[in-house]
Amino acid sequence: MALSGGVDSSVTAAILKAEGYDVVGMTLKLYDCQDGQNERSCCGLAGVSEARAAAGVLQIPHYVVDGESLFESRVLKHAWEEYSNGRTPNPCVACNEWMKFGLLFDQARKLGADFVATGHHARVVAGDRPKLLRGHDPNKDQSYFLFSLSPAQLGMALLPVGDLTKAKVRELAHEYGLPNADRLESQDACIAQRGDFAEALRERFDGKLEGGPIVNAKGTVIGRHEGIHRFTVGQRKGLGIALGKRAYVLAIDKATNTVVIDTDADKLLAYGLEAGDMRWLRHLEEGESLAVQAQIRYRHQAVPATLTKGDEDNATAYFAEAQAAVTPGQAAVFYLGDEVVAGGWIKTALPSQD
Amino acid sequence: MDAPRIYMDHNATTAMDSRVLDAMMPYFQGEFGNPSSVHWHGQQARRAVDLARKEVGGIINAGIGEIVLTSGGTEANNLALQGTLKPGDHLISSAIEHPAILATCKHLEKQGVDITLVPVDAMGRVTPQVVADAIERRTKLISIMLANNDIGTIQPVADIAAIAAQHGVMVHTDAVQAVGKIPVDVKNLGVDLLSFSAHKLYGPKGVGAVYIRQGVELTSLIHGGQQEFRRRAGTENVAGAVGFGRACQLSEFHLQDADDLAELRDRLWRGLQERIDGIALNGHPEERLPNTLGLSIDGVDGPAVVMNLDLQGIAVSAGSACTSGSIKPSHVLLAMGHTLERATSTVRISLGRGNTTEEVDQLVEALALAIPRLRRVSAKPMVS
């Protein structure tokens, strides 16, 4: 199982061991030994030793798997390409697909394992077509990040913590005598804060993004930016210009290297979105529609929408009520109740009709 | 893991012989003195270190004034190189040295020392003539390891030293893997400097030595005291030194076991060849340590083999280790001209005292079962 050093994965190991599984802990090393100084980083050195300590308490074997180059190519490089094209990526989804349920999956199969367990707050229902459900604790639900897993990957997944609240998890951690019961969470900590992240990626990949104009919704040039990668749709802070009133990033245009910023919050609203690279956990015919709840960001309360399957891997979704800051590059995940029925990547927002 | 574990990673480290532990025990509490102290306690401790030094020198036929005790093989390697080279000098070493040497070379390069790393042949052997050709006017030192940790290949150090002597160049050899496994005599080798380490020969971790031939000048790395003939400051690790000495003594006795160990290793190799196809031996077939078997296994990755065997209670290794415990492909295999694929499908089995024919047979069984599964999974991975 994937041991990050955080409390969720450690408790997962403890629960499964208590249930009689033969548990083997594996921690992904994602950074060069010298880079892994970040205390909170889930796969920096501190995380690895915490995972090792938890494995020691549980008396299970522990291995460290080197995922550095795959992480760089599939997660970091991809994220940089998104930023440099004016989109806002969600690297956690790629990390789950390629690293935790990809690389670790292969390692697990090499050891003859039947399942791969993680500390994700989500639920899987086994079957010919396995189902992915929200975790029991709505504040901690991570199903959003797992939408891209294949049936094969879901078929091998065990997510025991998904049935529990975070409070219960910490309680169990104390009960099992785990050393990281009160540790900060690993999630989201593997990379720097949003604003710094894009810049850190630019440095890492030697990206060259030139400055360009900032325009308002009418197209008037009102300022200058230092690179489109520093902005995300809906952003209010760090815009680099003062307009007297609260202002927002409405759009980022790679072709003209322009960032559109305006004070009219209504301009952020969209009544739908186009998504690509769709994964379908429920079968729909091309052109068929389904009433769903759409979640367009991790921290977004899912809203009613109609999802229609397009051609190839595309889909469109129309919200019952216009939503703010539909951001190209973000994942759009569609639910029926607690069940994930589909998910994909936002290509464009479909703007308000007035 | 209820069944007793099988340890076959002796090149990584060895368990301390209980006679070594017995020899060390008095020096933690009873004879706890600082050897530099004038009083009775100091005298006792000083005596113990003197005797240890004699025993440590004894295993390589060195005099007591030629042994400097260090914190281990890595420090010994650092001291040998950094203590003798200065900016403008030229150093010749090889592509298959241990990271302790290679990293020190990189460091010295930044300080202005010129480095030449000679290549090795497909069996991991340095050719003396190639070293000779690399010698130039500014060459001060040649450092070639005596035996390689990954493949066990023994280098023609005596031949290289003979060539070096003709040019007035000094020779150092990293003998960390060799001492205790094969006879090592500094006079026969003709080297000026030699490093070795206690924990490779059933002694304690944290203590090693560098042999410095009488007359060789060397500046110390660690300053602050007169210890070790002013070559390495710091209160002596008395218990460690005593343990090292005892381990060296016992090792000389055990060198007779080398043939038994070689037989066991050969039994292992034969057994594996019978049961598994697509395996290759890495390194020189004759000039190698009696206990080391470096293999490449088609269609699998070394780390997966190591984990599989570990889950069955058998300890071996693949490539070299790094601080967080994850594994990268062996630079030694790459230097031998092998493909990245072959360099990541390596497994190193290093036998030692206590390994039996039953254990060897068990390892063969375990691999025979694991390899087919590993090959099946590797053929159809989830990610690439």
Task: Give the model confidence (pLDDT) of B297-342 as tens digits.
Answer: 999 988 889 999 999 999 999 874 444 445 577 889 999 999 888 8
Q: Which of B101, B99, B142 is nearest to B118 (CA)?
A: B142
Chain B residues within an 8 Å CB radius of A64:
324-326
CATH of domain A268-351: 2.40.30.10
Element (H, E) at B152: none
The amino acid occupying position B264 is L
Q: Which of A24, A106, A111 sits opposite B381 (nearest CB)?
A: A106
Q: What chain B residue is nearest to A98 in terms of C-alpha separation?
A: B383
| CA distance, residue A172 to nearest chain B CA (Å) | 25
A70 touches chain B (CB under 8 A): yes
Looking up tokens 């270190």 gives: B49
> Which of B307, B327, B377 faces A106 most closely, judged by CB atoms?
B377
**Are A105 and B322 inside 8 Å of each other by CB?**
no
pLDDT digits (tens, 9 = 90+) for B23-51: 999 999 999 999 999 999 999 999 999 99
**Residues A61-117 pLDDT 10s:** 999 888 888 888 899 999 999 999 999 999 989 989 999 899 888 888 889 999 999
Strand pairing category for A157-158 and A116-117? parallel
Q: What is the mean pLDDT of residues A219-246?
A: 86
User: Band of the pLDDT at B384, cuts 50, 70, 90?
Assistant: low
Instruction: For residues B38 and B46, give the distance between their C-alpha atoms in angstroms, rounded to a whole number.
Output: 10
Answer positive or negative: Cα dihedral of A58, A140, A127, B373.
Answer: negative
Q: Which residues contact B364 (CB under 8 A, 6 or more apart)?
A: B268, B271, B272, B275
Assess whether B241 and B104 both reside in one domain.
yes
Rounded to whole angstroms, the Cα distance separating A321 from A339 reads: 22
Q: Provide the pLDDT confidence category of residue A242 given band limits of 50, 70 and 90.
A: confident
Q: Are residues B63 and B52 in the same domain?
A: yes
Interface test with A, best of B106, B320, B326 (most A CBs within 10 A): B326
B146 and B36 share one domain = yes
**Is B384 part of a structural domain of the chain?**
no
The mean predicted confidence, pLDDT, of chain B is 93
- Mutation target to probe the B interface, by most B beta carbons within 10 A, among A22, A75, A109 is A109
Tell me, rounded to whole angstroms, the distance of Cα A272 from its chain centroid: 21
Bridge partners of A315, per DSSP, are: A275, A309
Chain B environment of A65 (Cβ under 8 Å): 303, 326
The pLDDT, as a whole number, for residue A39 is 46
Tell how strand B90-94 and strand B139-143 pair up: parallel
In chain B, residues with a C-beta closer than 8 Å to the C-beta of A33 are 322-324
Judge whether B263 and B277 are in contact, CB under 8 Å.
no
Cα B289 to Cα A153, A175, B293, distances in angstroms = 45, 50, 9
DSSP letters, B281-297, are: EES-SSSB-TTEEEEEE
d(CA B218, CA B90): 16
- Whether A152 sits inside 8 A of B378 (CB atoms) is no
Record: contact A64-B374, CB cut-off 8 A: no
Q: Residue B189 in 3-state DSSP?
A: helix
| Residue B190 near residue B203, CB atoms below 8 Å | no
How far is the C-alpha of A128 from the C-alpha of A159, rounded, in Å?
Answer: 18
Q: Residues B223, B314: one domain?
A: no
Last residue of a domain, one of B226, B254, B282: B254
Q: What are phi and psi of B218, to 5 degrees?
A: -155, 135
Contact assignment for A45 to B383 by CB distance below 8 Å: no
The ipTM of this complex is: 0.83
**Interface of chain B toward chain A, CB-CB under 8 angstroms:** 301, 303-304, 307-308, 310-311, 322-328, 373-374, 377-378, 381-383
Q: Which of B311, B322, B340, B369 is catalytic?
A: B322
Question: From the candidates B314, B324, B328, B376, which should be mutated to test the interface with A, based on the most A CB atoms within 10 A?
Answer: B324
pLDDT band per the 50, 70, 90 thresholds, residue A263: confident
Q: Using CA atoms, how far apart are residues B50 and B58, in angstroms rounded to an integer?
A: 12
**With 80 as the cut, is the pLDDT of residue A195 above it?**
no
pLDDT at B369 over 50: yes
- Answer yes or no: is B280 within a domain: yes
The reply to whether residue A102 touches residue B382, judged by beta carbons under 8 angstroms, is: yes
Confidence of residue A45 (pLDDT cuts 50, 70, 90): low
Are residue B23 and residue B139 in the same domain, yes or no? yes
Write the CATH number for B292: 3.90.1150.10
What is the secondary structure of A22-90 as a DSSP string? ---EEEEE-S-TTTTT-TT-TTSHHHHHHHHHHHHHHT--EEEEE-HHHIIIIIIHHHHHHHHTT----
Picking from B224, B254, B284, the residue at the C-terminal end of a domain is B254
Residue A108: enclosing H or E segment and its boundaries?
helix A104-110
Residue A220 tokens read as 């008037």
Contacts of B303 in chain A (CB under 8 A): 63, 65-66
A233 has pLDDT over 60: yes
Question: Which of A45, A63, A71, A104 should one mutate to test binding to chain B, selecting the residue with the greatest count of B CBs within 10 A?
Answer: A63
Token match 């697990």: residue? Answer: A108
Interface of A with B in 77-116 (CB under 8 A): 98, 101-103, 105-107, 109-112
* CB contact A240 to B (< 8 Å): no
CA-to-CA dists, residue A341 to A200, A292, A327, angstroms:
34, 8, 21
Q: What are the boundaries of each domain within chain A?
A: 7-175, 209-263, 268-351
For residues B198 and B262, state if they share a domain: no
Neighbours of B284 (CB within 10 A): 19
b/e string for A90-119 if b means 16 or more Cβ within 10 A? bbbbbbbbbbbbbbbbbbbbbbebeebbbb
Spatial contact of B58 and B110, defined as CB atoms under 8 Å apart: no
> In whole angstroms, what is the distance from residue B244 CA to residue B27 CA?
13
Quick check: B377 and A70 CB within 8 A?
no
* Domains: count for chain B: 2
Which whole number is the average pLDDT over A148-158?
Answer: 92
CA distance A201 to A189: 15
Are B248 and B310 in a shared domain? no
A103:B383 CB<8 A? yes
| pLDDT at A186 (0 to 100) | 56
Angle among Cα B225, B229, B234 to the nearest 5 degrees reads 30
Chain B nearest-CA distance from A111, in A, is 6
Whose structure tokens read 């599989």?
B308
Asked if A64 lies within 8 A of B311 by C-beta distance, the reply is no
Strand-strand pairing, B6-7 and B90-94: unpaired
Domain A7-175, second-level architecture: 3-Layer(aba) Sandwich (3.40)
The band of A265, judged by pLDDT with boundaries at 50, 70 and 90, is: confident
Measured between beta carbons, the chain A residues lying within 8 angstroms of B314 are: none
Q: Which domain holds residue B294?
A: 6-14+256-378
Contact with chain B for residue A46, Cβ under 8 A: no
- Residue ranges of alpha helices (H) inside chain B are 18-24, 40-58, 73-82, 99-110, 128-134, 157-167, 186-189, 227-230, 238-254, 258-275, 302-311, 331-335, 340-344, 357-379
B chain contacts of residue A37, beta-carbon cutoff 8 Å:
none
Q: Residue B128 class from Cβ within 10 Å (0-12 exposed, 13-18 middle, 19+ buried)? A: buried
- Tokens representing A270 are 């969209």
Q: Provide the b/e sequence for A43-64 (b: ≥16 CB within 10 Å).
A: bbbbbbbbbbbbbeebebebbb
What is the pTM assigned to this prediction? 0.86
- What distance in Å separates residue B10's CA from the closest CA in chain A? 20
Beta strand A339-351 with A269-280 is antiparallel
CATH number for the domain that contains residue B143: 3.40.640.10
**Would the pLDDT of A192 be above 50?**
no
Known catalytic membership, residue A43: no
Return the exposure string of B233-258: e unless at least 16 CB atoms fall within 10 Å of the residue's CB, then b. Answer: eeebbbbbbbbbbbbbbbbeebeebb
Euclidean distance between CA atoms B307 and B327, whole angstroms: 11
Using the predicted structure, report yes or no on whether residue A354 has a pLDDT greater than 70.
Answer: no
A343 bridge partner residues: A279, A333
**B33 lies in the same domain as B167:** yes
Question: What is the Cα–Cα distance from B164 to A218, expressed in whole angstroms?
Answer: 80
A35 closest CA partner among B323, B98, B308: B323
pLDDT at residue B2 greater than cutoff 70: no
Residue A36 has pLDDT above 70, yes or no: no
Pairing mode of beta strands A212-215, A258-262: parallel
Please state, in angstroms and rounded to a whole number, the distance separating the CA atoms of residues A306 and A292: 6
Q: Count of CB atoms within 10 A of residue A312's CB?
A: 9
The nearest alpha carbon in chain A to B383 belongs to A102
Interface membership of A341 toward B (CB under 8 Å): no
In order of B273, B294, B326, the CA distances from B303 in angstroms are 20, 14, 9
Q: Do A217 and A251 meet the contact criterion of CB atoms below 8 Å apart?
A: no
Q: Average pLDDT for residues A325-338, to the nearest whole number?
A: 95
Rg for chain A, CA atoms, rounded: 21
Q: Are B195 and B145 in contact (CB under 8 A)?
A: no
Q: Would you tell me which CATH number, out of the four given (2.30.30.280, 3.30.1360.200, 2.40.50.140, 2.30.40.10), belongs to the domain A209-263?
A: 2.30.30.280
Chain-chain contact of A110 with B308 (C-beta, under 8 angstroms) = yes
Query: Does residue B344 register a pLDDT over 90?
Result: no
- Domain assignment of residue B1, yes or no: no
User: How many CB atoms are closer than 10 A to CB B328?
Assistant: 15
Q: How confident is the model at residue A351 (pLDDT cuts 50, 70, 90)?
A: confident
Say how many CB pairs under 8 Å bridge A and B: 61
A95 catalytic, yes or no? Answer: yes
Out of A42, A43, A92, A95, the active site residue is: A95
Are residue B155 and residue B66 in the same domain, yes or no?
A: yes
Among residues B186, B221, B254, which one ends one of the domains?
A: B254
Write out the two tokens for A104.
């670790």
Tell me: do B238 and B356 sit in the same domain: no
Contacts of B301 in chain A (CB under 8 A): 110
